[in-house]
């Protein structure tokens, strides 16, 4: 069989298997130990985000971000902690890059803090901010590590929130200007760009349900914010490409494979709405200049502030598709429920009261099942999900190049005196082993995945959960910034060097 046809047919089979596997209960079978090989040149990396690791919150001319304001407001963050210092990576980056190198990493996904570059979100750039990222990128290249730049990992300049925040469509232009500044200064050295980290999450949690700053609870504001972000994504795509001929632009979307709760037509349709809203809303806007069918009735264009011609602004065919995988969702129809909206943030998603639907427009209930083991952050571990998700996106978007931009788990293991201060975090090793085995299988079945970024290089500031969760492959003692490579970090370093996983 011709390779393209083979690829198509294996992806199609995987697609129909996706729904069947949940219904048959097949997902309950743990994937178990096995050996997996990755293709030559597969790129192993780790990820962080500026607000979660940098600290130096008001140094060298940096402006205030909405997250600075949030953490400085009493009652918002567990443990009353802030990210004022976090991992102090603003100063300690040479040490962190040396650790990446020691662990054989070939990629580092970091984000740029917008208010470090433009303290009030518009106007002339802050040279000290640009110099910092320039030094970081040089140090990465020196260590032969590919710099992957995310332009927005949630830390909006507070001054722009004061001008209406993401529901104000002017922000699309401001964001493109900011992206152009960065690409002009760093585009000679950076080739991989993602405009936004998890656009659905920060718009929905910030404006729809208020779990994140700025804490608004208006579905209309969420829709407007989401549309501005789609426009910003398109404008940014063009401004990066105009500033740097080497640039490739992709994404860092949050995605969860979704499975219908029952085989009913209504639950299947609700699952499709979940996928459209939570997984591919912004991807579809970029790739095709349109929104997917995420709503139970017509797309509420008026409420979104959609204007004629916006489809052309949104259109920005990505060079590669990046997404995170943490866990799965079981979805059911909520057409007849009293959809009140609301919910709490679980680490990667909004959890709603299962007795009601999520909002009056999408009308589904999406629940994180607890059939598999839970991490210490309470997220279900479901290794097979990465296989399903990668195959589904491959099938739906004509086999794009894929980068896994994040995946990881929180466990609180720390240095153990009896073992000479080692961090024996066996549960994290098992998590990555099972998941990467599933990823290798997806690649063997034709998916063009070229890179995996583990979340995270370091234990860091986990948003509203403060320091109560630890996702790092390197332990950080936040009292003195001492870093200790966990056993999982050493293990992942070996995987990176050998390009394979041994049972
Ligand atoms: C993702 C975020 C990242 C981190 C991990 C645990 O949702 O992109 O910043 O918080 O979850």
Query: Which of 48, 406, 465 gets mutated to test ligand 1 (max ligand atoms within 8 A of its CB)?
Result: 406
Give, rounded to a whole angstrom, the gap between the first and last alpha carbons of the chain: 32
pLDDT of residue 357: 60
Tens-digit pLDDT profile for residues 389-413? 999 999 999 999 999 999 999 999 9
3-state helix, strand, coil in the chain (%, to 5): 40, 15, 40
Q: Decide: 487 and 422 in contact? Cβ < 8 Å.
A: yes
Quick one: residue 318, left, alpha or beta (phi over 0 = left, psi -120 to 50 = alpha)?
A: beta
Query: Which of 113, 212, 348, 376 gets mutated to test ligand 1 (max ligand atoms within 8 A of its CB)?
Result: 348
List residues bridging with 406 in a β-sheet.
324
Q: Decide: 488 and 455 in contact? Cβ < 8 Å.
A: no
Among 475, 477, 469, which Cα is nearest to 424's?
Answer: 475
Distance from C-alpha of 352 to C-alpha of 294, rounded to nearest angstrom: 18
Rounded distance from Cα 203 to ligand 1 centre (Å):
14
Q: Decide: 146 and 193 in contact? Cβ < 8 Å.
A: no
Kindly state the DSSP code that residue 374 receives in the 8-state scheme.
B
Kindly state the DSSP code that residue 464 receives in the 8-state scheme.
G
Distance from C-alpha of 237 to C-alpha of 282, rounded to nearest angstrom: 13
pLDDT of residue 7: 35
C-alpha dist (Å) from residue 347 to 166, 224, 350, 405, 409: 22, 24, 8, 16, 10
- Among the CATH numbers 3.30.230.10, 3.30.565.10, 3.20.20.80, 1.10.3720.10, which is that of 3-14+44-501? 3.20.20.80
Give the list of residues 6+ apart from residue 180 with CB closer than 8 angstroms, or none: 239, 240, 242, 243
List, chain by chain if needed, residues with CB within 6 Å of any ligand 1 atom. 49, 52, 197-198, 254, 347-348, 406, 455, 462-463, 471
User: The whole model's pTM is what?
Assistant: 0.92
- How many other CB atoms sit within 10 Å of the CB of residue 466? 17
pLDDT of residue 486: 98
Q: Give φ, ψ of 366 to 5 degrees.
A: -120, 120
Distance from C-alpha of 388 to C-alpha of 384, rounded to nearest angstrom: 7
Nearest CA to ligand 1 atom 2: 348
Give the domain ranges of the chain: 3-14+44-501
Strand residue runs (E) in 153-234: 192-196
pLDDT of residue 158: 98
List of the chain residues with pLDDT < 50: 1-31
Nearest CA to ligand 1 atom 9: 49
The three-class DSSP label of residue 295 is coil
Rounded distance from Cα 405 to ligand 1 centre (Å):
10
Kindly state the DSSP code that residue 279 receives in the 8-state scheme.
I
Rounded distance from Cα 430 to ligand 1 centre (Å):
20
């Amino acid at each position: 069989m011709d390779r393209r046809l083979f690829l198509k047919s294996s992806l199609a089979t995987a697609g129909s298997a996706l729904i069947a596997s949940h219904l048959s209960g097949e997902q309950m079978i743990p994937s178990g130990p096995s050996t997996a090989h990755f293709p030559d040149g597969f790129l192993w990396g780790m990820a962080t985000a500026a607000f979660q690791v940098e600290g130096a919150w008001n140094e060298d001319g940096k402006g205030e971000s909405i997250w600075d304001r949030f953490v400085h407001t009493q009652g918002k963050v567990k443990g009353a902690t802030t990210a004022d210092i976090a991992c102090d990576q603003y100063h300690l980056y040479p040490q962190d890059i040396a650790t990446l190198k020691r662990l054989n990493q070939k990629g580092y996904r970091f984000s740029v803090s917008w208010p470090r570059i433009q303290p009030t979100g518009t106007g002339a750039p802050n040279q000290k901010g640009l110099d910092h990222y320039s030094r970081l990128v040089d140090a990465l290249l020196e260590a032969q590590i590919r710099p992957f730049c995310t332009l927005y990992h949630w830390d909006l300049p507070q001054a722009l929130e004061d001008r209406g925040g993401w529901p104000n469509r002017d922000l699309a232009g401001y964001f493109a200007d900011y992206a152009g500044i960065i690409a002009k200064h760093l585009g000679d050295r950076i080739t991989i760009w993602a405009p936004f980290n998890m656009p659905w999450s920060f718009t929905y949690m910030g404006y729809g349900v208020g779990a994140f700053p700025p804490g608004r609870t208006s579905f209309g504001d969420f829709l407007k914010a989401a549309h501005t972000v789609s426009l910003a994504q398109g404008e940014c795509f063009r401004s990066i490409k105009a500033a740097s001929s080497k640039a490739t632009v992709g994404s860092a979307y949050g995605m969860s494979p979704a499975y219908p709760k029952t085989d009913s037509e209504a639950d299947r349709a609700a699952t499709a709405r979940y996928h459209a809203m939570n997984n591919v809303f912004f991807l579809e806007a970029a790739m095709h200049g349109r929104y997917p069918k995420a709503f139970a009735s017509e797309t509420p264009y008026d409420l979104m502030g959609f204007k004629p011609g916006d489809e052309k602004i949104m259109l920005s065919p990505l060079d590669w598709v990046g997404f995170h995988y943490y866990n799965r969702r079981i979805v059911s129809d909520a057409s007849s429920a009293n959809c009140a909206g609301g919910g709490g943030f679980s680490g990667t998603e909004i959890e709603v009261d299962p007795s009601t639907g999520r909002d009056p427009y999408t009308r589904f209930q999406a629940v994180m099942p607890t059939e598999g083991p839970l991490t210490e952050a309470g997220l279900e571990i479901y290794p097979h999900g990465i296989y399903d998700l990668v195959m589904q996106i491959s099938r739906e978007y004509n086999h794009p190049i894929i980068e896994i931009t994040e995946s990881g788990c929180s466990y609180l293991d720390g240095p153990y005196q009896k073992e000479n201060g080692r961090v024996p975090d066996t549960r994290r090793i098992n998590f990555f082993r099972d998941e990467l085995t599933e990823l290798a299988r997806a690649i063997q079945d034709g998916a063009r995945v070229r890179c995996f970024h583990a979340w995270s290089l370091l234990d860091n500031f986990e948003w509203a959960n403060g320091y109560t969760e630890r996702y790092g492959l390197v332990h950080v003692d936040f009292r003195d910034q001492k870093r200790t490579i966990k056993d999982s970090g050493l293990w992942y370093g070996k995987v990176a060097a050998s390009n394979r996983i041994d049972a």
